[in-house]
Structures are given as structure tokens and as C-alpha cells.
Amino acid sequence: MERLDWSGLPHALPTLWSGMLITLQITVLAIVFGVVFGTLLAALRLSAVKPLVYFARMFVTIFRSFPLVLVLLWFFLLIPQLLQAVLRIPPTTDIRLVSAMVAFALFEAAYYAEIIRAGIQAVPRTQSGAALALGMTYLQAMRLVILPQAFRAMLPLLLTQAIVLFQDTSLVYVIGLADFFRSSTNIGDRDGTAVEMVLFSGLVYFVICGATSGMVKLLQKKGAR
């Protein structure tokens, strides 16, 4: 086996960094939107209004029934025109990034919705009884009493899901978007250092995910106290 050649790495760093920015953009947006929309879906699913329950259940079931790669391709191939019209995106914007963000956001919302639903259900019903008895409305009880307790209990799970999401962003290679992973393999192909670049990007993913799950463990220990 030939020796590994790391000499090209310093020159590659700026390209890798801009790839990392894309990865982070998608991750952060999908987490924020996923948690917000996921909370809404969970609330709908737990509401007493049947059509809302069905809508939420259908949304979650559909998105959880398809591989992420397929969802990504769909949003890229089938719906860009629609997205462009709905979100009023100027034609100069990279539609691949937008469609990836939308796909990830909706996909993650479906997964977060289930985590959050379980979290809400884990808070005793009597707690909302106590909140209502104090004169709070249903929404106040949810926002001030139930959700804060639910999120506290769910935090480790939400973070774990975020780690999975961060890794899954590498799938955007199917729509030709240069995220961190795609950038590194591109450079590897160009310079003939594919092995080095794959090793390097693996190390970066490992460090970031390892650090985050370390944080999750710490939180769990703190929460158990």
C-alpha cells in the first residue's frame, strides 16, 4: 500500500470549511424547524380534534415511511418550481441548498414529533389538571407547565437525534450539493488523495459527534440527579 500524502490538506481547508458551513446550515435549520414544527405536530396529534389528529398522523407516517435519500431527491427533482413559487426565492439562489433544507426540515419534524409526543405523554396528566385549576387556558398549561417539563426530559433524545441528522446531511451528495463530505471527496478525486480525504472527513465527523454525545451523557447524568 502506498504511503498516505497529507501535503494537500492545508490547501483544501478553505473548501472544506465552506462545505462544513453548508452542512451546519442544513443541520441547524432542520433542528430549529424540526423542533418547532415537530412540537406543533405532537400537539395536534394529542388534541381532541379528529381532522388535526389525522393530519399529524399522516404527515408523520408518510415521512417516516421513505428513505431520506428518496425524500431529498423528490424535493430536488419534483418540487423545486413549487418551492420557488411558494417561498419566492430569487432565481439566483442555489435551489439545491433550499430544497435540501426543506426536505431535511420536514423529514426531521416527523421524527421530532414522535419524540416530543412521547415526552408530553410522560408528564402526568394531573399536572395539566393543576394548571387548569389555577385558571390557565389549555395553551398556557401546555406552554408554561407541560412543555418545559417534557423538553427537560427529552433533551438527551433530541440531541441524539441532532447527531444522527448531522451525519445524515452527507446524503445531500445525491443532489450534487457540496456539503462537508462531498467537498472532501471532490478534493480527493481531484488530487488523487481519496483515501486521505475520506479518512480526514471521518475524523472530523467522529470528533464532532463524539463531543456532542459526550455532552448528552453529561446532561443525562445531571438530569438523573
Partner 1 sequence: MISLNNVSKWYGQFQVLKDCSLQVNKGEVVVVCGPSGSGKSTLIKTVNGLEAIQQGAIFIGDREVSSAQTNLPALRSRVGMVFQHFELFPHLSIIENLALAQMRVLGRSKEEAYQKGYKLLERVGLRAHSDKFPGQLSGGQQQRVAIARALCMDPIAMLFDEPTSALDPEMINEVLDVMVELAQEGMTMMCVTHEMGFARKVAHRVVFMDHGAIVEDQRKEDFFSRPTSARARDFLSRILH
Please give the residue ranges that form the binding site for partner 1 (CB under 8 A): 126-127, 129-137, 140, 144-145, 148-149, 152
Cβ-based burial of 19 (10 A; exposed 0-12, middle 13-18, buried ≥19): buried
> Which of 213, 77, 222 is CA-nearest to residue 157?
213
The minimum distance between CB 124 and partner 1, in angstroms, equals: 8
Given the complex with partner 1, which of 61 and 121 has the nearer CB atom?
121
Given the complex with partner 1, which of 100 and 146 has the nearer CB atom?
146
Given the complex with partner 1, which of 136 and 157 has the nearer CB atom?
136
The minimum distance between CB 185 and partner 1, in angstroms, equals: 46
- Read out DSSP for 186-210? HHHHHHT-HHHHHHHHHHHHHHHHH
Q: How far apart are CA 62 and CA 146, in angstroms?
A: 27
Given the complex with partner 1, which of 138 and 173 has the nearer CB atom?
138
**Secondary structure element (H or E) that encloses residue 62, with its range:** helix 50-64
The minimum distance between CB 152 and partner 1, in angstroms, equals: 6
Question: What's the residue count for the chain?
Answer: 225
The minimum distance between CB 49 and partner 1, in angstroms, equals: 16
